Structure 1
Amino acid sequence: MKPIPFKIPKSEGSSLRVQIDEGPHFYDRLHYHNEIQVTTIQKGEGILYSGNNMVQFNPGDTFILGSNIPHLMKSAKPYFSPDSNGVYSVSLFFDQNSFGSDFFHIPELKNIYALLGKSKRGIKVIDDCNKYIHQQILEMVDLKNTALIIQLLHILNEIDKTSKNYINSDVYRFSINEKDGQRLNDIISYTFNRLEEDITIEDIASIANLSRSQFSRYFKLHTRKTYIEFLNELRIESACNLLLDKKNTIENICYDVGFKNLSNFNRQFKKIKQLTPSEYRSIRLK
């Protein structure tokens, strides 16, 4: 597998695509496309990997992913899980030239133009306005023609005014050849699918068909972090979803996401989230 260049289908004469994704799980292969993507989650939870970082997604969350950022959405519960309710999202796809090459350059839209530039970092909307933005995106499925463009500008303007988390620390620039892209997708897919296992550097280097030292250099070059840092972050983000089930003990969650002992789990959780698992659970379940 490799990061797949997607072509977003648009109906003839349409500059903006409104897409509903509904099914057992989201598309979980690393892919990218030229269009900017605005997505709101109505049903489903899991981890969004975008650029070289990751965040949780839950119902009500809204994201903007800039042009050509490799990304995937991994559902927390497999579609065959007896307590999985499937997924549902609405996404808007457009590029900066969709409405004319100078459209976003007019003075009245300078704030939105700046926002679209920042979307190259990947954006997650985080404050109370997210509920309003979420609803506005859901309503896009019933709009047509001029009303679509007006609503899109309104949504982007509201996102610009609200608080945001950036998924990547700076603008993500994707430049990778096909062979390296295939390796990166194999590494990420293997890790996501075997998170609870005891994954060693030797194991993952073998998946990448590299020596241990070659793999370490390769992964750091393309993700700006070590593989162990990536693995710990992924395990902690997965634990955050599991912590929302108050019946699940912290000790069980520790082992379910692949940590060998509770003390290391607590230490890594505090390092990444600046909270203990129990503090995180208490805040999220208020």
Structure 2
Amino acid sequence: MKTLIQKIHVEEYNSFACRTYKTPDFETAWHKHLECELILITEGNGTALIGDYIGEYKQGDIFLLNTNVPHWFRKSQNTTIGSAIVIHFMRDFWGEGFLALPEMKNIAGLLDSKTTGIQLLENLSDDIAVLIRKLEFATGIERILLLISCMQKISTSTQQKTITTAFDTMTSGEENSVIETIIDYSFKHFLDPISLKEVAGITHMSIPAFCRFFKRNIKKSYFDFIKEIRIGHACKLLRETNRPVLDICYDSGYNSWAHFSKQFKAVIKLSPSKYRKQHIK
């Protein structure tokens, strides 16, 4: 069985890890770890599953995940290359006494938000990307100073959004294998009609047992999960093509414009047409 808990290797001469993960090492399925994670996507795009959040990721995106937030950066196409610079560090690697210093108040507050995930935005994302790229090749005390600088900038900036909070699971290795099976099946078939009987069948559960299992681990219903995947796909088509909105509705797994429009507004808070106008370059 695959394990949900990922063990992060830290060299004996370092106190935290910072390295590039590139295909095939980039492809780590649904997992979590005790370390906090600061990740800069350097190549590729796809869907980020972070706690109960589902959204797109692309080159240049940066996420900060606190301890034990389950996540999976799933490439849009298996044939493409995925790459990221990833910093893994224990919350207390610099010592609780250090975090208790008055000058560390903002950073300590940021790290106290356990099981939380945030995405960096705008200028903050650009500034932190520069620091992360420097940190990857830094040595000695400069590594710690650069990480402190990253965390201080993040903790004092409003250019960020919280994408998941209070996400806690007690998932076993066997349950994690089932979650991966469900997610993989869903991404392969989200454009097709999917019934609860069908997806419960691949897990060898009854429909009620499947619904309870999925809600406990992903913190939303299965059909809400499918809805967010379909709407994410529609957003990509609206941004990257000039195809008619009605065609995109049908090509995103919907057979009713009214249903598509209602679900799109529920997830994005805009109509499909307004969303497209906002993203025309």
Q: Is the 8 A contact 2:36 2:64 kept in 1?
A: yes
Residue type of the alignment partner of 2:173: E
Specify the alignment match of 1:79 in structure 2.
Answer: 78
Specify the alignment match of 1:108 in structure 2.
Answer: 103
Residue type of the alignment partner of 1:111: N
Q: Is the 8 A contact 2:106 2:156 kept in 1?
A: no
Tell me, in whole angstroms, the C-alpha distance in 1 between the residues paired with 2:114 and 2:51.
Answer: 11
Specify the alignment match of 1:166 in structure 2.
Answer: 162
2:235 paired residue among 240, 248, 269: 240
1:259 paired residue among 229, 254, 267: 254
Offset, 1:251: 3.7
Q: Is the 8 A contact 1:25 1:75 kept in 2?
A: no
Tell me, in whole angstroms, the C-alpha distance in 2 between the residues paired with 1:220 and 1:23.
Answer: 31
Specify the alignment match of 1:194 in structure 2.
Answer: 189
Tell me, in whole angstroms, the C-alpha distance in 1 between the residues paired with 2:236 and 2:24.
Answer: 18
Q: Is the 8 A contact 1:121 1:172 kept in 2?
A: yes
Specify the alignment match of 2:83 in structure 1.
Answer: 88
Gaps of 5+ in 2: none
2:134 paired residue among 125, 133, 139: 139
Identity, in percent, stands at: 28
* Cα deviation 1:88-110 (Å, max 9, x = unaligned): 32111100122234332222112
Label 1:42 to 1:242 Cα distance change in 2 as closer, same or farther (>3 A).
Answer: farther
Tell me, in whole angstroms, the C-alpha distance in 2 between the residues paired with 1:281 and 1:249.
Answer: 11
Q: Is the 8 A contact 1:55 1:167 kept in 2?
A: no
Residue type of the alignment partner of 1:89: A
Residue type of the alignment partner of 2:8: I
Residue type of the alignment partner of 1:144: T
The secondary structure found in structure 1 opposite 2:169 is coil
Tell me, in whole angstroms, the C-alpha distance in 2 between the residues paired with 1:2 and 1:229.
Answer: 26
Offset, 1:189: 2.1
**Superposition misfits of 4+ residues, deviation over 6 angstroms:** none
The secondary structure found in structure 1 opposite 2:240 is coil
* Cα deviation 1:15-42 (Å, max 9, x = unaligned): 1211112237942511111111000122
Label 1:33 to 1:151 Cα distance change in 2 as closer, same or farther (>3 A).
Answer: same
Query: Mean Cα displacement is larger for which, 112-121 or 12-21?
Result: 112-121
The secondary structure found in structure 1 opposite 2:270 is coil
* 1:229 to 2:224 alignment: yes
* 1:124 to 2:119 alignment: yes
Specify the alignment match of 2:9 in structure 1.
Answer: 9
Label 1:248 to 1:44 Cα distance change in 2 as closer, same or farther (>3 A).
Answer: farther
Aligned CA RMSD, in angstroms, stands at 2.1
Matched length: 280
* Cα deviation 1:67-113 (Å, max 9, x = unaligned): 1221101122x133xxx5x2332111100122234332222112111
Tell me, in whole angstroms, the C-alpha distance in 1 between the residues paired with 2:237 and 2:134.
Answer: 31
Residue type of the alignment partner of 1:60: G
Specify the alignment match of 1:33 in structure 2.
Answer: 33
Map residues 261-276 of structure 1 onto 2, 5 A cutoff.
261-276=256-271
Residue type of the alignment partner of 2:162: Y
Offset, 1:115: 0.8
With normalisation by structure 2, the TM-score equals 0.90
Tell me, in whole angstroms, the C-alpha distance in 1 between the residues paired with 2:237 and 2:123.
Answer: 23
The secondary structure found in structure 2 opposite 1:93 is strand
The secondary structure found in structure 1 opposite 2:122 is coil
Tell me, in whole angstroms, the C-alpha distance in 2 between the residues paired with 1:44 and 1:260.
Answer: 31
* Cα deviation 1:141-190 (Å, max 9, x = unaligned): 2211111110111011111122221122x321222233433322221222
With normalisation by structure 1, the TM-score equals 0.89
Tell me, in whole angstroms, the C-alpha distance in 1 between the residues paired with 2:133 and 2:252.
Answer: 33
* 1:216 to 2:215 alignment: no
Query: Mean Cα displacement is larger for which, 49-58 or 31-40?
Result: 49-58
The secondary structure found in structure 2 opposite 1:148 is helix
